[in-house]
Amino acid sequence: MALIIAALAMPIGAGASNIERHGTISCATTATEIVPERLGRRGLLIVNSDASVTLYHGQHVSATDRPLTVANGTPLVAGGNFVFNDTEMTGAYHCIVSAGTVDLRWKETFR
């Protein structure tokens, strides 16, 4: 739990002109969009709030063009978090699970 709290306290894209958004989504067995493409994104934090299920995250173009799957996504273990900080990652970002659904918390900072 301390790791998650530390990550949430971490400054994402520091700067007075930044805007912050946050929310919750349910990752499913098909690629689910966490955040849309956003030019000027300065940071993105995702947290797997499930107690036992690993989710997978990454970029997803379409079901036929570079699809996100559990086989090629980056795993995020239950209770884990992942941070893009001051990055050029401005594309849409997605998650997927092998079965059921998993709640994910997210926070992004952009200009």
Q: What is the pLDDT of residues 12-37, one digit of tens each?
A: 444 456 789 999 999 999 999 999 99
Output the CA angle 4-79-61, nearest 5 degrees.
100
The class level of CATH for 2-110 reads mainly beta
Predicted model pTM: 0.79
Task: Write the DSSP string, 21-54.
Answer: EEEEEEE-SS-EEEE---TTEEEEEEEE--SS--
Average pLDDT, the chain: 84
- Predicted confidence (pLDDT) at residue 100 exceeds the cutoff of 90: yes
Q: 3-class SS at 3? A: helix
Angstrom CA distances, 52 to 26, 61, 94, 101, stand at: 15, 28, 20, 12
Note the maximum CA span of the chain.
41
Task: Using alpha carbons, select from 48, 98, 90, 91 the residue that is nearest to residue 71.
Answer: 98
What values do phi and psi take at 62, rounded to 5? -165, 175
Query: Which two three-digit tokens encode residue 71?
Result: 């086989």
